[in-house]
Amino acid sequence: MPQTLAEIKTLLESRGLSPRKRFGQNFLIDHNLVRKLVDESGVGAGDLVLEVGPGTGTLTEELLERGCGVIACELDRGLAELLRERLGSNDRFTLIEGDCLAHKREVSAEIVGAVAGRPFTLVANLPYGAATPLMLALLTGHPLCRGMYVTIQKEVGERLAARAGQGAYGGISVAAQTLATVRLIAKLPPECFWPRPEITSVMVAIERRADHGIGDPVAFGAFCQRVFAQRRKQLGSVLGRETAWPKGIEPTMRAEALEPGQIVSLWRATGGRVSS
């Protein structure tokens, strides 16, 4: 049974803890949504799950009850100690205390070491600040991450699913839609969390494609980010006028107007090179 709001508050108060805004701590308190997130992930007995930002462990406990092995990464020292006390005796639970990211864009060495080359699934109520770089790093650099089932900021969800020509469309849109399928599971109003955030969240599934055909996803993801960093520039200025332009793409066009498949064609035509 997921923790109630009263139980979460009691756990924190008994240790002199409180939610920390700088860590993006907004605890998911809707029991039905906790279960829905796990249901949608399809994980069960014997599956390995990565959870980032476990907080007081309500989602963690649900995953353990279903027989999963859980690697939980918690940045907050007080919450990490709470998790050790409550769950440390479970041999299917591994706690990593620290940042999930190295250099703000790579999955930490501690997580990579704990995963130890095994297939895994990300199931998490992600801290807002870590969501985009973590998902991009897992998507491009960790093919053993079979899928990501997460609650994230609505704006991030919109970027993942955005289409060409939309304001939210960018490098992560192209990378996500090329390497995976993106599916909206549910919209989560602020009252689903404590403390209530000032924004709306969404629950999203990102399920890796086996047939994406991208030989070097890391290089492709980096190319997408670089091209869209200069989204207002014409492609000729970004990639160089001497580029062998694929059919249907002109040097006067801008990246934000191209479909993901066209960006893939550009990446292959240029060898991933960006001139400026």
Domain of residue 139, CATH code = 3.40.50.150
HSE, CB side, 13 Å, CA atoms: give it for residue 118. Answer: 16
In a domain, 276, yes or no: no
pLDDT score recorded for residue 25: 87
CATH number, residue 266: 1.10.8.100
Given the structure tokens 């090329």, which residue do they identify?
Answer: 178
Are the beta carbons of 138 and 66 closer than 8 angstroms? no
Shared domain check, 241 and 169: no
Tell me what pLDDT residue 82 has. Answer: 97
pTM of the model: 0.94
> Which residues in the chain belong to E strands, given as ranges?
27-28, 48-52, 69-74, 93-97, 101-102, 106-107, 120-125, 145-153, 180-188, 193-194, 201-208
In a domain, 38, yes or no: yes
Tens-digit pLDDT profile for residues 33-69: 999 999 999 999 999 999 999 999 999 999 999 999 9
Model pLDDT for residues 78-107, shown as the tens digit of each residue = 999 999 999 999 999 999 999 999 998 999
78 and 117 housed in the same domain = yes
Q: What is the pLDDT of residue 273?
A: 75
Tokens for 105, please give them: 């864009």
Answer yes or no: is 53 within a domain: yes
**Phi then psi for 93, rounded to 5 degrees?**
-115, 125
Residue 265's domain spans which residues?
Answer: 217-270
Q: Are strands 145-153 and 180-188 parallel, antiparallel or unpaired?
A: unpaired
pLDDT value at residue 133: 96
Which stretches of the chain drop beneath a pLDDT of 50? none
Would you say residue 241 lies in a domain? yes
- Torsion angle of the four alpha carbons 10, 15, 21, 25, in this order, in degrees rounded to the nearest 10: -60
Q: Are residues 200 and 236 in the same domain?
A: no
Q: What confidence score (pLDDT) does residue 275 get? A: 61
- 159 within domain boundaries: yes
Domain closes at, from 189, 208, 227: 208
Please report the pLDDT score of residue 240 as a whole number.
85
Query: Are residues 226 and 162 part of one domain?
Result: no
Report whether 56 contacts 18 (CB < 8 A): no
**What confidence score (pLDDT) does residue 24 get?**
82
Evaluate whether residue 107 is within a structural domain.
Answer: yes
Q: What is the pLDDT of residue 23?
A: 82
